[in-house]
Structure 1
Amino acid sequence: MAESGGLLRCDVAIAGGGFVGLSLALALGELPLSVVVIEPLPPARQYPPDLDARTTALAPGSRRVLEAIGAWRGIAAEATPIHSIHVSDAGTGGFARLEAAEQGLEALGHTIGNAALGRALRERAAELPRLQLHAAAATGVQSAPGGRRLATSTGLMVEARLVVAADGAGSVLRSALGIAARVREYGQQAIIANLETGRGHAHVAHERFTRAGPIAALPVAAGRVAIVWTLPEREACRVLALDEAAFLVELQRAFGFRLGRFVRAGRREAWPLALTESVVTAADRALLVGNAAQGLHPAAAQGFNLALRDVATLAEILADEIAAQGPAADPGAGHVLQRYVEWREADRRLAIRFTDTLVDLFGSERGLLRVARGAGLLAFDLAGPVKREFGRRLMGLAGRQPRLVRGLPLVADRPTA
C-alpha cells in the first residue's frame, strides 16, 4: 500500500464499512492484498447506522464465515441459538415448524445484537496489518490506468485495482458507476423492539403472518425476544406513537400468546421497507455486494446472510486467482469479475424471488389464496423431505456454496500450527 500526497494506492478499495464491507475486508485479510475501507465513521468505537440496537439473525453458513474471518470469537458469548422456527398464518390457522434436529444441525442459526457484531468486526479489523480504514465517504469514481480512482469527502483519492460497493441499498458508488437499480416500495415500515415476555423464548424463532404484515419474534440474550413488526406506513406511525402499555396490547392482539404475555418493551425504532435490485452487479473493475447489489424485505431474514455469501464467494475467487497467477494476479481483471457474477447470480435471484413472493403471498387477503396458503403450510409441515430441502435453502446451505460457508479454509494449502 502506497500513499503519495492526496493519493492512496491499494489492491482493493471497499466503499462502506458496515457489516458487509468489514466482513469482506476481514475475508481478504488472509490474502496478500492491500485493502482500504472507506466509511464516514466518527472516532473509534462509534459505529455506522446499521450497528445500532437492532438484532441480526445468522444462518449456520454465516456463522462459519464469521468463524473463518476471526469475528465469531468476539460475539460467541452473546449469540443466542435458534433451535426451532415456527411459522404461522393468523388468517387461516396454518402453521409449520422447522427443527434443528430435522436438519442434522445443533442450531438453525443464531441471533446477535448489531452493536456486538459491529464491535467484533471492528476489533478484528484492527488486528490486520494490510487493512486500512479511512474515515470518509466515497463521493465519486473515475477510471485510472489499471484500476479505478475513488474520490472521498476528505479530498483523499484512493486508487485500486478493484473497487467494491458495500455502501448499502442507497449506494452512492453504484450511482457513480452508472449502474441502475430497480426499486419496489412496499409501502410498509418495520418496527423493531426488544421485549420481555411471560414465558421466555425457549430458543424458538417465530414468523407470524397477519393481515397487516408479518411479525418476526427472535430469541435473544437474557430470555428476551426481538420483534420485527411490519405494518403499512400510516399504521406504523400510529403504533410508534403509542405509549408502552398500548403498544404491547396491540402487538399482543396481532401476535397472540405463544410467548405468554408481553411484559415490557424496550426502545422502538422503525425503517421503511423496499426491494432494491441492482440491474447488474459488476462494471469495469468494480463489483457490488450486499445491499448495494440487493436490498431485501426482512420477512425471511435473508439480507445479511445473502451478503456474507457474496463476501465468501468473492474471497474464494480472489484466493484461487492468486494461487493460480501468483504475483501477476489482478483482483479487478474481467474474467475474475465475470466468474463472481456467474457464481452469485442463481443464489441472488432465488433469494430476491423467494422474499418478494413471500411478501405477496402472505400479504394477500384473496379468499382462495388464503385457503391455499393455510393448507400449504400444513402440508409443508407434514412433508419431511420437502421441509428439509426448504430449510437448507432458507439457511443458505443448498446449491453450490463457497468454501467459507461450508466451513473449509479459504486457502486450501494453509499451513497448520
Structure 2
Amino acid sequence: MSKTISIVGGGMVGASLALALQDCARKAGWTIRLIEAHPPNREGFTQPSYDARSTALSQGSRKIYERLGIWSTLAQRVEPIRQIHVSDRGNPGSARINAAQERVPALGYVVENAWLGEVLIGALDHDVVEWIAPGRVVRAIPAPDGYGIEVDSPTGEQTLHTDLLVIADGGRSSLLSQLGVHREVSPYGQVALVTNVTSAEGHDGVAYERFTDSGPLALLPMSESRSALVWTLPEDQSAEVASLPDDAFLQRLQLAFGYHMGALVKVGERNCYPLSLIEAEEQVRSHLVILGNAAHSLHPIAGQGFNLSLRDTLALANTLIRAQQERKSPGELSVLMRYLERQRSDQLMTVAFSDRLTRLFSNRQPLLAAGRNLGLLGLDILPPAKRLFARQAMGL
C-alpha cells in the first residue's frame, strides 16, 4: 500500500532526508512531500537555511553525502580543513589537530550553504519528491493512521493526509507549540556575529578556534583566502561591534584573534543571531518525527549542530527503509522509537560536548582559565586524548 511522508521544511535537513529516502520511495511507491515556505528560484535560494552563511561539514558528514551520491558534485566548491588550531587568548596553552596525523584527507570541509542547497535540490527526483512551495502548514491534526495537515499555498488552503509527518522547519517552528511539544531553552547570554573576512596571508587550510575575554570565536577556511567568522559576543556588545565601520571592525577582530593569518584586510556583511541551547523534550510520537534545529539547536562554536542533525537524518532514513523491508508503516511508533533509541547516545554525547566546551571557554574565572589552559597543553601532548577529541569533532 502506498505511503506518504510529508517533510515540513525544505532546508538542508529536510532536503537531505528526502534525498536519503527517494530510492526506497521509488521502489515502494511512497510519496515524499517537501513543504517549504521559501521555494528555490533561478536567482538563488530564499530559504533561510540556504543563506550567505557557511557550514562546516565533518568527515562523518562527507561519508553520508558520499553514500547519497552527491559528494563528487559538492566537493567542487568546498574548502578542506587540514588543521584545527585551538587557543586561549592571553594564555600559552594551545592544541593542534592535523588531518595527516589522524590519517584522513581532511578534518572537515567548509561549504557555502547556498551551494549545498543547490546540490541537494538538484539531486532530488521530482517524480518521487513532490514540492509544495511556497507552502505553509498552518495546522497538524493527529489521526489514528497519521496526520491531517492543513497547507496554505498560492492555490488556496488544502487538507492532506500523511502517514508520517517530519517537522524540520528550524528552531522557531510554530508547529511544535501548536502540537504541545515543549522545548527546554538554556540561553547562553551570547550572540553569534557571522560574516566572512579576508586575510593578507590566507588561511592555509587551518580552522581556528580562539577563546577570548568576550567569548569564543571561530575562523573557518573558505575559497579565495576568505574565512568564515563566527564570533561569540555578549548580548550587550554585539550590536555595537556589528555596526562598526569596516576598518574599525577589523581592528577590533584583529585584537581579539591576533595575527595567525597576518593582517585582516576585508570584511563582508555582518549578521547576528542570539544563542541558546534548545532541546525538544519529545522527538517522536506515533506518525511524527522532529528533526534538525527543531529537535536540538546547539551553539555554533564547536561546529556540531548540522552534523548531528545529518546523522539523525541518515539514521531515520535507514530505520524507515528497514521498516519498509519488514512491511511496517513508516509512522508506527515502534519504528520511530527504534530510530530514537539508535540515535539517543549520539545526541546526548554531542550536545554535552558542545555545551560544556562552550561554557568552559566562555568562563573567565581564574581557576577555570588555569585548568582550561592546562587542558589544552595536555591535549597537545597526549595522543590518545587528542585522537578522542578529534574523532568527536569529525563526527566519527
Match of 2:280 in 1: 278
Runs of 4+ in 1 over 6 A off after TM superposition: none
5+ long unaligned stretches in structure 2: none
Match of 2:373 in 1: 374
1:189/1:232 contact within 8 Å kept: yes
- Range moving further from structure 2, 177-186 or 244-253: 177-186
1:29/1:128 contact within 8 Å kept: no
Query: Residues 43 and 206 of structure 1: is their aligned pair in 2 closer, same or farther, counting only changes over 3 Å?
Result: closer
Match of 2:21 among 22, 28, 32: 28
Local SS of the residue matching 2:321: helix
Report the CA distance between 1:118 and its aligned residue. Answer: 1.1
Match of 1:219 in 2: 221
Local SS of the residue matching 2:266: strand
Local SS of the residue matching 2:48: coil
- In the alignment, the residues of structure 1 paired with residue 20 and residue 270 of structure 2 have an alpha-carbon distance, to the nearest angstrom, of 33
1:368 maps to a residue whose letter is L
- In the alignment, the residues of structure 1 paired with residue 348 and residue 8 of structure 2 have an alpha-carbon distance, to the nearest angstrom, of 24
Report the CA distance between 1:42 and its aligned residue. Answer: 4.2
Report the CA distance between 1:75 and its aligned residue. Answer: 2.2
Match of 1:400 in 2: none
- In the alignment, the residues of structure 2 paired with residue 203 and residue 224 of structure 1 have an alpha-carbon distance, to the nearest angstrom, of 11
Report the CA distance between 1:43 and its aligned residue. Answer: 5.9
Match of 2:242 in 1: 240
Match of 2:200 in 1: 198
Overall identity of the aligned pairs, in %: 41
1:316 maps to a residue whose letter is N
Local SS of the residue matching 1:287: strand
Local SS of the residue matching 2:224: helix
Local SS of the residue matching 1:13: strand
Match of 2:128 in 1: 130
Report the CA distance between 1:234 and its aligned residue. Answer: 2.0
Match of 2:54 in 1: 55
Report the CA distance between 1:386 and its aligned residue. Answer: 1.5
1:248/1:265 contact within 8 Å kept: yes
2:117 maps to a residue whose letter is G
- In the alignment, the residues of structure 2 paired with residue 322 and residue 103 of structure 1 have an alpha-carbon distance, to the nearest angstrom, of 38
Q: Deviations over 1:250-284 (max 9, x none)?
A: 00000000010001111211111111100121112
1:15/1:173 contact within 8 Å kept: no
Match of 2:210 among 208, 211, 217: 208
1:352 maps to a residue whose letter is V
Match of 2:11 in 1: 18
Is residue 73 of structure 1 aligned with residue 72 of structure 2? Answer: yes
2:287/2:332 contact within 8 Å kept: yes
Match of 2:231 among 229, 234, 244: 229
Query: Residues 137 and 70 of structure 1: is their aligned pair in 2 closer, same or farther, counting only changes over 3 Å?
Result: farther
- Range moving further from structure 2, 70-79 or 48-57: 70-79
Q: How does 1:135-154 map to 2 (within 5 A)?
A: 135=133, 136-154=135-153
Is residue 86 of structure 1 aligned with residue 79 of structure 2? Answer: no
Match of 2:384 in 1: 385
- In the alignment, the residues of structure 2 paired with residue 264 and residue 285 of structure 1 have an alpha-carbon distance, to the nearest angstrom, of 49
Q: How does 1:93-112 map to 2 (within 5 A)?
A: 93-112=92-111
1:383 maps to a residue whose letter is L
Report the CA distance between 1:183 and its aligned residue. Answer: 0.6
Report the CA distance between 1:312 and its aligned residue. Answer: 0.6
Q: What is the TM-score when the length of structure 1 is the normalising length?
A: 0.90
- In the alignment, the residues of structure 2 paired with residue 112 and residue 215 of structure 1 have an alpha-carbon distance, to the nearest angstrom, of 18
2:40/2:47 contact within 8 Å kept: no
Query: Residues 153 and 370 of structure 1: is their aligned pair in 2 closer, same or farther, counting only changes over 3 Å?
Result: same
2:279/2:297 contact within 8 Å kept: yes
Q: Deviations over 1:142-162 (max 9, x none)?
A: 122411111222312231111
Match of 2:35 in 1: 38
1:292 maps to a residue whose letter is A
Q: What is the TM-score when the length of structure 2 is the normalising length?
A: 0.94
Query: Residues 73 and 156 of structure 1: is their aligned pair in 2 closer, same or farther, counting only changes over 3 Å?
Result: farther
Match of 2:263 in 1: 261
Report the CA distance between 1:324 and its aligned residue. Answer: 2.6
- In the alignment, the residues of structure 2 paired with residue 218 and residue 152 of structure 1 have an alpha-carbon distance, to the nearest angstrom, of 39
Q: Deviations over 1:36-60 (max 9, x none)?
A: 0111124624331121110100001
1:60 maps to a residue whose letter is Q
2:193/2:238 contact within 8 Å kept: yes
- In the alignment, the residues of structure 1 paired with residue 241 and residue 40 of structure 2 have an alpha-carbon distance, to the nearest angstrom, of 35
RMSD over aligned Cα, in angstroms?
A: 1.5
Report the CA distance between 1:128 and its aligned residue. Answer: 4.2
2:38 maps to a residue whose letter is L
- In the alignment, the residues of structure 2 paired with residue 71 and residue 54 of structure 1 have an alpha-carbon distance, to the nearest angstrom, of 20
2:285/2:333 contact within 8 Å kept: no
- In the alignment, the residues of structure 2 paired with residue 239 and residue 284 of structure 1 have an alpha-carbon distance, to the nearest angstrom, of 47
1:55/1:226 contact within 8 Å kept: yes
- In the alignment, the residues of structure 2 paired with residue 172 and residue 278 of structure 1 have an alpha-carbon distance, to the nearest angstrom, of 13
Q: Deviations over 1:56-81 (max 9, x none)?
A: 00001111222222333332111000
2:145 maps to a residue whose letter is G
5+ long unaligned stretches in structure 1: 3-9, 398-417
Local SS of the residue matching 2:163: strand
1:91/1:370 contact within 8 Å kept: no
1:11/1:35 contact within 8 Å kept: yes
Query: Residues 187 and 262 of structure 1: is their aligned pair in 2 closer, same or farther, counting only changes over 3 Å?
Result: same
Local SS of the residue matching 1:153: strand
- In the alignment, the residues of structure 1 paired with residue 17 and residue 40 of structure 2 have an alpha-carbon distance, to the nearest angstrom, of 21
- In the alignment, the residues of structure 1 paired with residue 141 and residue 101 of structure 2 have an alpha-carbon distance, to the nearest angstrom, of 51
Match of 1:183 in 2: 185
- In the alignment, the residues of structure 1 paired with residue 118 and residue 171 of structure 2 have an alpha-carbon distance, to the nearest angstrom, of 22
1:199/1:261 contact within 8 Å kept: yes
Match of 1:402 in 2: none
- In the alignment, the residues of structure 2 paired with residue 67 and residue 115 of structure 1 have an alpha-carbon distance, to the nearest angstrom, of 19
- Range moving further from structure 2, 195-204 or 42-51: 42-51
Q: Deviations over 1:64-104 (max 9, x none)?
A: 22222233333211100011100001142211111112221
- In the alignment, the residues of structure 2 paired with residue 51 and residue 110 of structure 1 have an alpha-carbon distance, to the nearest angstrom, of 17
Report the CA distance between 1:376 and its aligned residue. Answer: 0.6
Is residue 311 of structure 1 aligned with residue 313 of structure 2? Answer: yes
